[in-house]
Each structure stands twice: as structure tokens, then as C-alpha cells.
Amino acid sequence: MEMNNLRIIGIIVFTILVIIYGCESTRNAYLQDYKNEIVLSEAQQREYNYALTEATKQKVFGNIQQAAALYNKCIEVNPQSDVAYYQLAVLYMRSGNNREAIDKTVKAIELNDKNFWYYIQLATLYQIVEKKDSAIIVLERISDLWPENNTIKFDLAFNYAARGNNEKAIRILDEIEIENGISEKVCLLKKQIYVNNGEIIKAIDEISKLIKLAPDEIKYLGILAELYGANNQDAEAMRCYNKIFELEPENGLAQLSISGYYRAKGEFENYFIIQEKIINNEKIVLEKKLEVLVMMVSDRELIINYKNDLEKLFKEVIIRYSEDTRVMTIYGDYLVKAGRYEEAKIQFEKVLEKNISNYFVWEQLIFLYSNINDSEEIYEKCNEALKLFPDRPVLYLFKGNIELIKHDFINSIKTLEKGLNYSGNNNDLKLQFYSFLAEAYRNIEDDKKSDDCFEKALEIDPENIILLNNYSYYLSIRSERLNEAEKMSKIAITKEPNNQTYLDTYAWILYKMGKYKKALEYIERTIQNGGTEDPDILEHYGDILVELKEKTEAVKYWKLAIKFGGNEVNLNKKIEENKF
């Protein structure tokens, strides 16, 4: 049990106690009420008794507002009615108003500080609102008042442990053990405290005590095996596992446990042998088997190094659970990670044939088509999926991007704007939408909206070098805000100083600013970093050289630009204009 679960279990324990003994607490409260100092007249007593009885009746029938009004009437008649305060607190607790519930419970205790269930309720409430120190104080008070109650002592130890006060927790648990002998819940809590504290030997001792009482209890043997494994006592761990399998050869929990042991030790031959047994073990529910498969598919090294073992195991799973779409989905995920995209597509398509409403698989299939650059299939699948899931932003993102690639800019903008409305607070998605919209608006020459989208994208990720490069380049093409463009481009080349695209952008901005010598320095760096066959870079090189009066060299690079696919008409015009 993880230590952060201690608090949750503690709450459950207290809540159960309140539920079980709620009625008894009411009876006890009636008995205690005679201690109130206020002396009621006969008429007041009748009025009080009637309101209290009716309030309890309305509470039982679930009429919370009526019950609350009647309990308040009780308090109006008798301000020292601890039972009315307590029952009001119960109603507030049910409605989730824990602050009021605490106030009313505290008032009940002030009026009657000897009622066990009032304290229990207060401790429960402090647990719920995560006032853990306050809960411990209340439990300490209960333990002082009712020292014979070992349940409270255990809960106090539990809460000490949850707060990291292990010394106090262990001392109380030892006291319980001295008074009542060895018990499972005390030993297991002590074991967990020791494990969390790194004291594995002491944890082993606690479970060993339970095994002395019940040598053939498989649960204890399994816990002990895991502890031995964690302490690198491999021989002892295997002894425990062997004992379990002697007692129950098909014990599923032990098989799952020893598979984790083999994995941790790197004994993968044994690991896959036991995995096959797990898959074929009818006593293990499919959900547990799926958890194991998901864990394996999430391990990239396992996929790389043990392809044959994984393939054999998945074949076994597919044969046994051929109609289960969850199995197909996990297998499809494995095939994607193994780079077997065509087979993965088949698996995901099979899943959708059986369960068209599985959004996760639609998304996986679209990502898969994206990996293999199948634009037509992405577009088709997005349209199909949007009929079923019209509020999923990822579908709009993929569809809008394909429309952008197809130069269908108007529809791309419509699609992307609609998807943006569904992106909520997901900044990663918003960043993608604004980036694509910036490109789409630029292509229809709506520079203002394009710039707005770039600005919004950069608000989300101010140092996104792709955005900084593209935005600065587009500004340079328009010869606008060149100082800003130069600053943005400089960030990109600072982060990636050898990126030919970013270097070319920076060189071009310098060219537009009339800084030709500096532009030449950066365009030459662009060429040195792989730009020798890029027609745009070659053309820019020629343009910069012309401004430096090196026309012969400029013509040479423009001709190279034509050779590698540049705009022949524009380049020939430049060549003609600059011939000697």
C-alpha cells in the first residue's frame, strides 16, 4: 500500500464508523442531553421533543432542508442541545458543506465533551478537508478518553504514518500488538512504514511474523517474495515463489509478481515464459493481462531487443482474445512502435469495424496516416471522424493542415478557426492552430490576420524558433518591421547556429536592411551548412552579390538556382539585367 493512500483509507474508516453508529450516536446523545444546564419549562420540553423527533424523521426520509429547519428549531428552544448541533453537522456533511459541519460538530463537543461519536465525526471532517494535524489532535483526544479502543489507536498510528511521524506510529502499533497479539493489519501497516522508510529488513521481519502464524498463506508469501527481491535477496525471493507455486501452481497474483521480479532482474527469458503462462491463465482477468501488455508496449527497449518474444506473445493473445477490441488496439499500438505501419492500419481498421465510436482508435489511425504522409487518407478519416466527434479539436487540426497543403486556403481557415474554438485551455493545440492559421492567412494575403496569429502563437511559446523564423522571413519579404524581424531571426540562429534555413532568413533580413556585407557573411555560412542545392538560398546569394558589385558571381549562383529548380522566368530576367 502506498503511503499516500493512508489518508484515503483513514477517511473511509472514519466514515464507515459514522455511518454504522450514526443511529446509536443519536441515542447516546439523547442520554447525554440531560447534562445541559438550561432548565426547560414543560411546554418548552414538549416543543423541543416534538421538533427533535420530527427532525429525525425528516432526516430518515431524506428531506434535508426540513430536517435542518427542525434541528435549528431545537437549538432555538434549547441552545445547549448538543444532539441538535451534531445532527445539523451530519446534514451539512452530507451536502458537502464541511466548514459548517466542522463548526457545528465543535459546538456539539463543547456542550458534551464525552460523546465518542462527536469526536469521530470531527476527526472524519478534518480528514476530508485535509487538516491532517487537526485530525491527529482529535484522535489523540479520543485515545486519551477511551484508551481501551484499539481501533482508534490504529487509526491514530495510521495518521501519524501518513504525516511521516513514523516513530510515534510504530510505538502505538507496538502497544496494540503487546495488548492484542500479532494481527495482519498491524503487521502490514508496520511493513509499509518500514518500506517507505527504506528499512526493508524490518519490513521482512513483520511479514515473517505473519508467516509463522500462517505458513501456507499465499498472500504473505507473495509480499515476502517482493520484499526479498527489493532487498536483492534473490534466493530467498525464489524460495517464496516456489512455495507459492507448490501450493497453487496457477496462482495469478504470484505469476504477475514474479514476472515483475524477472523484469527487474533483467531475466527476460524467464520473463516471457511467465508472461505466456499469465496470458493462458484463466484465473487472471483480462484487464490485468491488458495492463501487462500495455506496459510492454510502452517499453521501447523491449520492442527493439525482444521482437520475436513479443510477436510470439501477441499471437497467443490474439488467438485467445480474437474478438476483443482492446487487444487489437494494444497490438496495433505495438505494430506502430515496431514500425510495421501497414499491419497496424489493418488492426485499427478492424477495431473501427467492431466499434466505430472508439475515438482513441480514430486518432491513432490518423496519426498513423500522418506518419506515412498519406494526405488523402488523413483527410478522409478526419471527415468521417468529425461526423461522430464534432467537438474534437485534433481532427480539425489535421483536416485544416491537409487543406493548407492542398492550397485550399479558405476552407483551411474555416476548419482551423472552428477547431480553435474547441481547443479550450490546451496551449499546445492552440499553438498549432495559430501557426497553421498564420500560414493560411498569409497565403490569401491577409497580412494583418496572419501577423495576429503569429503574435498569439508567440505569446504561448515566445522562443519557438520555427515561428520566429517564419514570421521574421514573411516580414522581410514585405520589408516591414525589419528591426523586429532581425531580433526574432537572431534568436533562431543563436539556438541553431548551423541551420541553413534560419541562416538564410537572417541573411535575407540583413539584405533588406541594406547591410550587404553582413548579409554576405551569413549567406556564405548558409552555403557552408548545406545550402548548395537550395534554389532559394542560391538566388538570395546572387541578389546579395549584385549589391556588392559582384555581378559575374551573382549570375553564376542564379544559374545554379535554375539548375536546382528555381523560378526560371524571374532568374533569367535577373541574369539578363546584370550581364556585362
User: Is 99 exposed, middle or buried, given 0-12, 13-18 or 19+ CB atoms closer than 10 A?
Assistant: exposed
Write down the pLDDT at residue 37.
63
CB 268 within 8 A of CB 306: yes
CB 112 within 8 A of CB 142: no
Write down the pLDDT at residue 365.
93
* Closest C-alpha to 232, from 268, 278, 265: 265
C-alpha cell, 451: 501577423
CB 422 within 8 A of CB 389: no
pTM for the model:
0.65
Question: How many CB atoms neighbour CB 84 within 10 A?
Answer: 29
Q: Quick check: helix, strand or coil at residue 131?
A: coil
Write down the pLDDT at residue 30.
33
Q: What is the pLDDT of residues 438-462, one digit of tens each?
A: 999 999 999 999 999 999 999 999 9
Residue 236 CB-half CA count within 13 A: 15
* Closest C-alpha to 7, from 187, 158, 164: 158
Write down the pLDDT at residue 531.
86
Which segments in the chain show pLDDT lower than 70? 1-37, 580
Write down the pLDDT at residue 403.
97
* Closest C-alpha to 351, from 388, 322, 379, 311: 322
Cβ within 8 Å of residue 79, ≥6 positions away: 38
C-alpha cell, 459: 505569446
* Domains of the chain with CATH codes: 1-163 (1.25.40.10), 463-577 (1.25.40.10)
Write down the pLDDT at residue 61.
86
Farthest CA pair distance, the chain: 124
Angle (CA) 254 191 285, round 5°: 25
H/E/C letters for each residue in 278-308?
A: HHHCCCCCHHHHHHHHHHHHCCHHHHHHCHH
